[in-house]
Amino acid sequence: MKKYQMSLLLILSIAVLTAAVTASAALPPVSGAQLILKPVRMEQGKDVRRSYYQVGTAEIKATLAQMGTQIHFTLWEGKQNVFHFSAPASRLGLGSSGAFMSDGHLFFYCNINTRAGWRPPGAPPASGRAVIVGKSPVDGAWRICVDSSDYYNPIPDDFQVYIGSVQHSADHPYIALAFGRELYTDTGRPAVRYRLDYHADTDQFTYEEE
């Protein structure tokens, strides 16, 4: 009788363990759509600005640093520098960055311009560069997904550039790329603006001129 009870207990244990393993294998992996992006804090120094983001259980730091005649934009996962980009600018205030989720994937953007306001008499023309950075679903490397230098700019001799969130009164916020003169002033208007949409199935941004 004792032997029968032990055999029955062993069979039941194996059945429960098998069911647990099967159920565990059937659970879908955590997808990008389940990630939550949460700004945590910002640190501002004379020549550096650090923004910290909580992404799921991980923390990512986005840094803008003025070094000589360039602003450097870097991303950090823990203590590891996973991405670097730089462009000409004379002071830290000419650079900006942010983060957003699209189609379940995390992206960072960065704008760097040589001038952000009106052009004073005798000042050189302005220029700039803006990028969107994302992680490759193939090898996990951070890389540039959108580069403003790849898009048509009708005023290449004197312009400012912007990538970031845009919202019209009747629309939800969306990501756009814009070129314009005095773009960062109250009266500045884009010479051209592109609406950007990310598609996870092709891992690409498409654009539509507005």
Among 5-14, 35-44, 74-83, the least confident range: 5-14
Would you state the pLDDT for residue 56?
Answer: 87
Indicate the pTM of the whole model.
Answer: 0.81
Distance CA 169, CA 106 (A): 26
* Over residues 9-37, mean pLDDT: 40
The predicted-structure confidence for 132-188, as pLDDT tens digits, reads as follows 999 999 999 999 999 999 999 999 999 999 999 887 656 678 999 999 999 999 888
Element (H, E) at 15: helix 2-26
Strand segments, DSSP code E, in 27-121 are: 37-44, 48-55, 58-67, 70-77, 80-88, 95-102, 105-113
